[in-house]
Amino acid sequence: MNTLPPPGCVYGVALNYRPALESLADVFNRPPHGKPPVAPVLYIKPRNTWASHLEPVPLPDGVEAVEVGATVGIVFARDAHCVPEQAAEDVIAGYVIANDVTIPHSSLFRPPLRFKCRDGFCPIGEFVARDDAPSVDALEFRAYVNGELCMTANTAGLHRGVARLIADVTEFMTLRGGDVLLLGVPPTPALARAGDLMTVEAEGLGRLENRLVPEAGLRNEAAR
């Protein structure tokens, strides 16, 4: 384990698992889209969403449940622009596990910020340097709610693997050193409710635990 490099921006990638794309083929082919997305579908997880291991995650007022978005993040060692697939490893500093918490919603091409960017909606685990990390091209990771296994996934099921994703994203935007690119959340993520303990883990990348706490309760506690 090592210290996370100075943080930059955290980006998420939607629809980056093959089963999700295949299940939505009919929807993509209808108007107004007419075809599946060609480029990666990105969204941001801004600084207000970041949380650490064991830090409580606020459950917004009026929201019954959130999705436990178990995923793996690429941490960039330096600025990356137009990086070819064969050179992708050179720009990687290491990896983190993360919980891309989301309020369930139906939008596909443009993930709404109001459902993905609430306070505490991106717990991030400890940084693991590239040379100390397992291969993330076929990495199994898991999600638990209150200690019960709710999801097992493998990065081998990604539509765009690590190298391809870096090449496709840096083709149209520069990723800076310290930026984190989340690989995507598998289909049918587990749901968590008020009081639940959300856990994400992956061999070689550690374990990340955060309890979902009603937002009103956290506000009252802060006001004391």
What domains can be seen in the chain, in order of their start residue?
10-223 (3.90.850.10)
DSSP SS3 for 179: coil
pLDDT band at 216 (very low <50, low <70, confident <90, very high): confident
Place of tokens 């990390």: 133
Amino acid identity of residue 20, one-letter, is A
pLDDT at residue 3 in the model: 47
Q: How confident is the model at residue 173 (pLDDT cuts 50, 70, 90)?
A: very high
Lowest mean pLDDT among 85-89, 189-193, 215-219: 215-219
For 77-121, write each residue's pLDDT tens digit.
999 999 999 999 999 999 999 999 999 987 665 667 889 999 999
Q: How do residues 36-90 score in pLDDT, each as one tens digit?
A: 778 898 999 999 999 999 999 999 999 999 999 999 999 999 999 999 999 999 9
User: How far from the centroid of its chain's Cα atoms is residue 74's Cα?
Assistant: 10
Average pLDDT, the chain: 90
pLDDT band at 20 (very low <50, low <70, confident <90, very high): confident
pLDDT class of 1 with cuts at 50, 70, 90: very low
Distance CA(219)–CA(224), nearest Å, equals: 9
Residue 191, classed as helix, strand or coil, is strand
Tell me the CA distances in angstroms from 50 to 11, 23, 45, 121, 174, one per residue in order.
12, 31, 8, 7, 22
Q: Read off the tokens for 113.
A: 């910020």
CA–CA separation, 36 and 26 (whole Å): 9
Per cent of the chain over pLDDT 90 is: 75
What is the Cα 39 distance to its own chain's centre?
18
Average pLDDT of 16-20?
83
Q: For residue 188, is it left (φ>0), alpha (ψ between -120 and 50) or beta?
A: left
Three-state SS for 6-35 is CCCCEEEEECCEHHHHHHCHHHHCCCCCCC
Tell me how far apart the alpha carbons of residues 215 and 224 are, in angstroms, rounded to a whole number: 15
Q: Tell me the per-residue pLDDT of 132-156, one tens digit each, with 9 for 90 and over.
A: 999 999 999 999 999 999 999 999 9
pLDDT of residue 2: 46
> Which of the four pLDDT bands, split at 50, 70 and 90, describes residue 222?
low
Which residues, 6 or more positions from 199, have their beta carbon under 8 angstroms from its beta carbon? 143, 144, 145, 147, 207, 208, 209
